[in-house]
Amino acid sequence: MNMSKFGQIDLHLHLDGSLPAETILRIAKEEGIRLPADTAKGLKPYICEGMDCKSLNEYLRCFDTVLKVLQTERGLCQAARELGENLKVRGLRYAEVRFAPQLHCQKGMSQEQAVTAVLSGLSKSQEDSDIRLRTILCCMRGQDNKKANLQTVRLASRYLGKGVVAIDLAGAEALFPTADYEEEFALARKLGVPFTIHAGEAAGPASIRKAVEFGAARIGHGVRAIEDEELMELLASREIPLEMCPISNLQTKAVESTKNYPMREFLNAGLKVTVNTDNRTVSNTTLTKELEFIQKNYRITDEEIHLMMRNAVDVAFADDAVKERMLKYV
């Protein structure tokens, strides 16, 4: 099967981990920001990880360089626009681009200015095109950022239906347990903001259980559900989908090796699986590459590829009109 026909819906895509090197260099030059290299090839070691990456924390270091150029409204808007244009060229029809507004406030930009900058950039990239791009606002795991997280939730409520579709919780899961973020998701439920949660990536099944308890509509990654058969049964019975990102998960050592990745086991257990890229630049990946990888390594059939693409349409944080458009491509 030609996988490029089906790699058109990406539900788990981080803006700052998916910017082309050329975009990063262009913004840096325009804003007078010094980077560790001034060519795409030279910048690659600072923004890309290989399969020899040792952990999620090591993987996350790639974002430090990128965030330097995303601290103004102009730079962030340009980044979002060029990412959208890149996704369009790659053949995507729908993507949910996630980012954490609080990470873009180092030079005085407010969270709301960051949100409107990204929404503006993505909107411009969709003009005269079939692609539809939506935004998920990430709260962050970390110390002393409760106030910033709650502000993110309120902003998501304010811009819900205006480009924003949900919130998320991202960051160093092993260091900052999901259970510590009950207040953020209680507020999201109160305000009617849907949410997904990164869980079961760098921490075990208890993290996923807590995300389910909070009311997550989807689970980001969720690979360590394989360690708990009852949890797998719960996810299957409630049809709580997993946003799986195979290449990234192997890089961050969410699983020990390719043979231990639970894609086949999850499908056999009836879990609602979707396939996504996570960070296109950091992981040097595309949806086509992800689909080819799982078909080669886990005996994924053409029918199962179709199923996962239909799953993506079904669980997207999109309205019915957009979903109806998406069904044409799966």
> What residue has token string 């689970």?
219
How far out from the chain centre does Cα 16 lie?
10
Question: Which ranges constitute the DSSP H helices of the chain?
Answer: 21-31, 40-47, 56-60, 62-67, 73-89, 111-126, 146-159, 182-191, 205-214, 229-238, 246-251, 263-268, 287-298, 302-315, 320-327
Residue 165 has phi, psi (to 5 degrees) of: -120, -15
Give me the helix-helix angle, 21-31 and 73-89, nearest 10°.
160
> What residue has token string 């086949």?
264
Q: Which residues contact 173 (CB under 8 A, 6 or more apart)?
A: 56, 141, 198, 199, 201, 202, 203, 207
Residue 175 has phi, psi (to 5 degrees) of: -90, -30
Q: Are strands 196-199 and 218-221 parallel, antiparallel or unpaired?
A: parallel
Active site positions, annotated? 201
Q: Please, what is the Cα angle at 27 between 107 and 220, to 5 degrees? A: 75
